[in-house]
Amino acid sequence: MKMKGDLIMKPSRLLGFLDLALGGALFLSGIYVLSHPREGLAGVSLFYGILAVGTGIVDLIFYFKMERRTGFGPAAALVTGILSLLAGVLLLFQPAAGVLSLAILFPLWFVAHCISELARLPLIRWSAGKGYYYFSLIINIIGLVLGIIMLAFPAACVLSLPWIAGIYLLLLGLHSVVLGMEKIISNW
The three-state DSSP-derived secondary structure of 95-133 is: HHHHHHHHHHHHHHHHHHHHHHHHHCHHHHHHHHCHHHH
Q: pLDDT band for 7, please (50, 70, 90 cuts).
A: very low
Average pLDDT of the residues in 137-152: 88
| pLDDT at position 8 over 70 | no
pLDDT in tens, 82-103: 988 988 888 888 876 666 676 7
Amino acid present at 7: L
| pLDDT at position 10 over 80 | no
Residue 11 has a pLDDT of: 65
Residue 29 has a pLDDT of: 81
User: Out of 9-18, 56-65, 69-78, 105-114, which region has the weakest mean confidence (pLDDT)?
Assistant: 9-18
C-alpha distances in Å from residue 85, one per residue of 27, 89, 112, 146, 178: 20, 6, 12, 21, 23
C-alpha distances in Å from residue 73, one per residue of 67, 79, 83, 114, 147: 4, 11, 16, 17, 25
CB distance 152 to 166 below 8 Å = no
Residue 141 has a pLDDT of: 93
- CA 109, 176, 57, 39: dihedral to nearest 10 degrees? 50
Within 10 Å of residue 108's Cβ, how many Cβ atoms?
Answer: 17
Measured CA to CA, the distance from residue 85 to residue 49 in angstroms comes to 8
Residue 42 has a pLDDT of: 61
C-alpha distances in Å from residue 90, one per residue of 2, 59, 183: 36, 18, 32
When mean pLDDT is compared over 89-93, 128-132, 140-144, 152-156, the highest value belongs to 140-144
Residue 2 has a pLDDT of: 47
Measured CA to CA, the distance from residue 57 to residue 53 in angstroms comes to 6
pLDDT in tens, 108-137: 888 888 898 888 888 777 776 777 788 889
What residues contact 15, with CB distance under 8 A and at least 6 apart? 61, 62, 65, 183
